[in-house]
Amino acid sequence: NAGVTQTPKFQVLKTGQSMTLQCAQDMNHNSMYWYRQDPGMGLRLIYYSASEGTTDKGEVPNGYNVSRLNKREFSLRLESAAPSQTSVYFCASSETSGEKQYFGPGTRLTVT
Amino acid sequence: DQQVKQNSPSLSVQEGRISILNCDYTNSMFDYFLWYKKYPAEGPTFLISISSIKDKNEDGRFTVFLNKSAKHLSLHIVPSQPGDSAVYFCAAQINFGNEKLTFGTGTRLTIIP
Residue B79 · residue B61 · CB < 8 Å: yes
**Interface subset of B 67-106, CB within 8 angstroms of A:** 89, 91, 93, 95-101, 103-106
Distance CA B48, CA A5 (A): 23
Distance CA A43, CA A103 (A): 12
- How many Cβ atoms sit within 10 Å of the Cβ of residue A18? 10
Judged by CB atoms closer than 8 Å, whether chains meet at A105 and B43 is answered as yes
Among candidates A98, A101, A105 on the partner chain, residue whose Cβ is nearest the Cβ of B96: A98
Among candidates A42, A50, A102 on the partner chain, residue whose Cβ is nearest the Cβ of B104: A42
> Tens place of pLDDT for every residue, chain A, 112 residues?
789 999 999 999 999 999 999 999 999 999 999 999 998 888 999 999 999 989 999 999 999 999 998 999 999 999 999 999 999 999 999 988 777 899 999 999 999 9
